Structure 1
């Protein structure tokens, strides 16, 4: 089988790595890819926001399956364009991708499906902002209604900071979503969905803020681990039954059936799991940890999802133990990130590339904010964490930074659902 992966981040490197281990895959390409994926797959330059260009590449390369990684091409209609040329595609349609592309749409779907989530209000006019803010708090949750690569959210006890973030979004022409704050630990659950059937993967937890102890601004994600040793028994089954399946059913009833990866970002509150957000694709950096534990060949799972045969496919099997991902970010991230610096030590096993490229002289240099995802696996979560940070120490990138506390509290038994 010839498989084409769309994207250039560590998520795509993790997908390419898993696919490369599958004997069913006879040819593998990644567009545009990065310095890490180039060692495993053919690379093709392409504008991922142009659905027709992606479909043309799939035809030219003679792909049997296209796997779309990032949200932007999915929201733009990449999966629709690929399917229109007769090629199987793992990824939801543009209409179904609105579950991530518009938080207001997602809230409407959840309300119709009876799915527990925070109370929310859309503000699209600065004149209405102050009155709306008074209806929320004292912890304010302010979100960009559209795509923001995980960085469009402010969670703060400071009303002035909440207002400033909202005004920045409004001044840029983006509607603002205000939400009530949800207590409890956060978790991510990825589910394969083929329009009707839902197959959950391992739950994970990611770390959004840039600094240790959850200090500083939100990022696209600074690390993750899987599975969750502190998760209550039956959590995955409960989330599928009460949250994911009802949303899948509601999307189908609206004529927007979902096929691909539906990611539920959850708060495990005192009244049970509630949805923080839905994403229409594999999450980054959770994917890097989750796929490190997958024993079932990935290709078959993705193809069954894309062709509507997931119910007949054997359930995924997992390795025992745990995996931890630590993100190494460039100087300045999540603000203006420095690029072009030489990276050494990045070609070891378990080091997945994101913002990298290879220069003509062969050196690997930084080319984005989140530069590398370093993955450690082990029989226990502490062992996986130790392995991840051992590999982090092998990497040198001038001015880079990473969190030193990924999964630390979980290894100490300090994380609870509530």
Structure 2
């Protein structure tokens, strides 16, 4: 089949890499892509928020399947426009994408489906937000209701900072104030066709900018999978209590969710609770999860797009562990510097056949040099027999990459690797 991937980050590079290894994919396209994706797919310049433009591109290249990576195009209705052309599309329509596009909407769906989640208030004025903050007390959890590229959540013990973020949110719309959920967080992806749910391998990501979970929230600084410390029954429990009820409720509402449903979970002292839903593959967890998937990706995504998941064979996974470490630009996540030359990419991939570079915010200059073009510039994903081996390969590779002022966390999967080794 011919496949068109929409997006230009490391998540899309991971998707394109996996699709390029699928023997059923004979032609791969990406819009807009990046410097790394250009090595495995033909790139196209298009406004990814313009559904008609994306649909026209898909028709023009003869795509049999369109895979929408980022959340903004989904919320803009790109998947609807592609399907209106009679082309299979992996990704929810605009109404279903509200599970990510509006945290208030997601809370309403969870309430109707009896999905366990944090208690919350939806506030439209600063006064309502202040009352909600007082009701819950610290640590304060303040969430922008809309899309915020993974950086719309503030968790703080500082009441002034919580109020400031709440005011910024209510100035633009509404804000969700939640109770704080204790316990480790887990990301669980599920492929769904609107009826059946096929879970992927659970992962854990690292949101804070610096080691020891210090610094501001980011879009994610690294991830790993599997989770050796997690209950083996966790995935089945989440499918039964969270994912399937949510999919069933969306279908009941007449807005079936077809695509990738991402449940961000907190494993609290009171049990599993949903922190948030996303309507697409998460970044950087996708990079680690797809590194272990042995089932060809295109067939899985097309089965979801065509409503055939119930008959799809069980997924096959590698026994290896996978670790992803993100390299971020100077001053990320505040005002990252761009336009700097990146060196050592070939040297990084020469470390091992089990470590490779995935580009996020990169571009090529006129001379063919790779330049930084975003906050999260690239990441290294490595696999190994266990988390320790995967970590060693990832960090050996990323140390060979040169980018002035860049930073990365040195503790991705460290605690889990140590615990698994004991």
Native 8 Å contact 2:129 2:177 kept in 1: no
Query: What does residue 101 of structure 1 align with?
Result: 101
In structure 1, distance between residues paired with 2:157 and 2:262: 27
In structure 2, distance between residues paired with 1:168 and 1:412: 41
Classify the secondary structure of the residue corresponding to 1:243: helix
- 1:128 deviates by 2.5
Query: What does residue 332 of structure 2 align with?
Result: 333
Query: What does residue 392 of structure 1 align with?
Result: 398
In structure 2, distance between residues paired with 1:84 and 1:343: 41
* Aligned residue runs from structure 1 range 237-386, under 5 A: 237-347=236-346, 348=349, 350-386=356-392
* Aligned residue runs from structure 1 range 197-212, under 5 A: 197-212=196-211
In structure 2, distance between residues paired with 1:124 and 1:321: 47
- 1:167 deviates by 1.7
In structure 2, distance between residues paired with 1:174 and 1:48: 24
- 1:233 deviates by 1.9
Query: What does residue 90 of structure 1 align with?
Result: 90
- 1:212 deviates by 0.6
Native 8 Å contact 2:129 2:175 kept in 1: no
Q: Deviations over 1:37-56 (max 9, x none)?
A: 00100000111111111111
Q: TM-score, normalised by structure 1?
A: 0.98
Q: Answer yes or no: is 1:403 the counterpart of 2:370.
A: no
- 1:309 deviates by 0.4
Query: What does residue 168 of structure 1 align with?
Result: 168
- 1:346 deviates by 2.4
Q: Deviations over 1:320-377 (max 9, x none)?
A: 1200000000111111110000001224351000100011101000000000011011
In structure 2, distance between residues paired with 1:127 and 1:279: 29
In structure 2, distance between residues paired with 1:78 and 1:315: 30
Change (3 A) 1:102 1:160: same
Query: What does residue 153 of structure 1 align with?
Result: 153
Query: What does residue 35 of structure 2 align with?
Result: 35
Farther off after superposition, 123-132 or 152-161? 123-132
- 1:161 deviates by 1.5
- 1:129 deviates by 2.6
In structure 2, distance between residues paired with 1:119 and 1:102: 16
Q: Deviations over 1:8-44 (max 9, x none)?
A: 0000000000000111111001100000000100000
Farther off after superposition, 348-357 or 147-156? 348-357
- 1:414 deviates by 8.7
- 1:198 deviates by 0.2
In structure 2, distance between residues paired with 1:338 and 1:169: 26
Q: Deviations over 1:82-138 (max 9, x none)?
A: 000010000011111000000000000000000000001111112333222111122
In structure 1, distance between residues paired with 2:185 and 2:129: 28
Native 8 Å contact 2:356 2:381 kept in 1: yes
In structure 2, distance between residues paired with 1:178 and 1:144: 9
Q: Deviations over 1:131-184 (max 9, x none)?
A: 22111122110000000011011111111111122122223x131110000111
In structure 2, distance between residues paired with 1:314 and 1:381: 28
Unpaired segments of 5 or more residues in structure 2? 350-354
- 1:63 deviates by 0.5
In structure 1, distance between residues paired with 2:270 and 2:125: 33
Q: Deviations over 1:176-212 (max 9, x none)?
A: 1100001111000000000100000000000001011
Classify the secondary structure of the residue corresponding to 2:216: strand
Query: What does residue 352 of structure 2 align with?
Result: none
In structure 2, distance between residues paired with 1:272 and 1:216: 28
Classify the secondary structure of the residue corresponding to 2:419: coil
* Aligned residue runs from structure 1 range 125-164, under 5 A: 125-164=125-164
In structure 2, distance between residues paired with 1:288 and 1:250: 29
* Aligned residue runs from structure 1 range 106-117, under 5 A: 106-117=106-117
In structure 2, distance between residues paired with 1:344 and 1:297: 32
Change (3 A) 1:141 1:414: farther
In structure 2, distance between residues paired with 1:242 and 1:199: 14
Classify the secondary structure of the residue corresponding to 1:203: coil
Paired residue total: 414
Q: Answer yes or no: is 1:64 the counterpart of 2:70.
A: no
Change (3 A) 1:310 1:183: same
RMSD (CA atoms): 1.1
In structure 2, distance between residues paired with 1:132 and 1:320: 46
In structure 1, distance between residues paired with 2:253 and 2:212: 42
Q: TM-score, normalised by structure 2?
A: 0.97
Q: Answer yes or no: is 1:7 the counterpart of 2:13.
A: no
